[in-house]
Amino acid sequence: MELIVALAIGVLTGSGVWLLLRPRTFQVAIGLMLLGYAVNLFIFSTGGLRSGAAAVLARGEAGSLAQYADPLPQALVLTAIVIGFATTALLLVVLLAARGLTGTDHVDGRERER
């Protein structure tokens, strides 16, 4: 399980960095989203990767905390998803406005000379 999550984080990070280096603004926005997903997956995995484990202790149940998943990273990731969605929407609006003003969607604002 840990290997699959580590590979997913690596692929998302690598793809996000590659897209950040592209010349078009939409590709940069997608790269930022992929990096955000990689960070969210990393934070989520710090809470422990246990399948079938309860998030919190049940009332009246005695047990070791090692048997349960940590709810703090889950709450942090949920908050990060909401904030990431809002900032991505704002970024896309700014990109559309910049395209309307400059007439191109290149990061530096001008087409490459051929």
For residue 67, give the DSSP letter. Answer: G
Tokens representing 84 are 């990431």
Q: How many CB atoms lie within 10 A of CB 81?
A: 13
Q: Which backbone phi and psi does 106 adopt, to 5 degrees?
A: -80, 150
- Mean pLDDT for the stretch of residues 9-38: 93
Q: CA-CA distance, 45 to 77, in Å (whole number)?
A: 10
Q: How many CB atoms lie within 10 A of CB 38?
A: 20
Q: Is pLDDT above 80 for 108?
A: no
pLDDT in tens, 24-52: 888 999 999 999 999 999 988 887 766 76
Q: Is pLDDT above 80 for 63?
A: no
Q: CA-CA distance, 21 to 76, in Å (whole number)?
A: 28
Tokens representing 51 are 């399948």
Taking domain 2-49+69-102, whether its CATH number is 1.10.540 is answered by: no
Q: CA-CA distance, 80 to 47, in Å (whole number)?
A: 15
Would you list the domain boundaries of the chain?
A: 2-49+69-102
pLDDT in tens, 49-58: 667 666 666 7
pLDDT at 89: 93
pLDDT at 113: 64
pLDDT in tens, 71-93: 788 889 999 999 999 999 999 99
Q: Which comes out higher in pLDDT, residue 52 or 106?
A: 106
The 3-state DSSP class for residue 51 equals coil
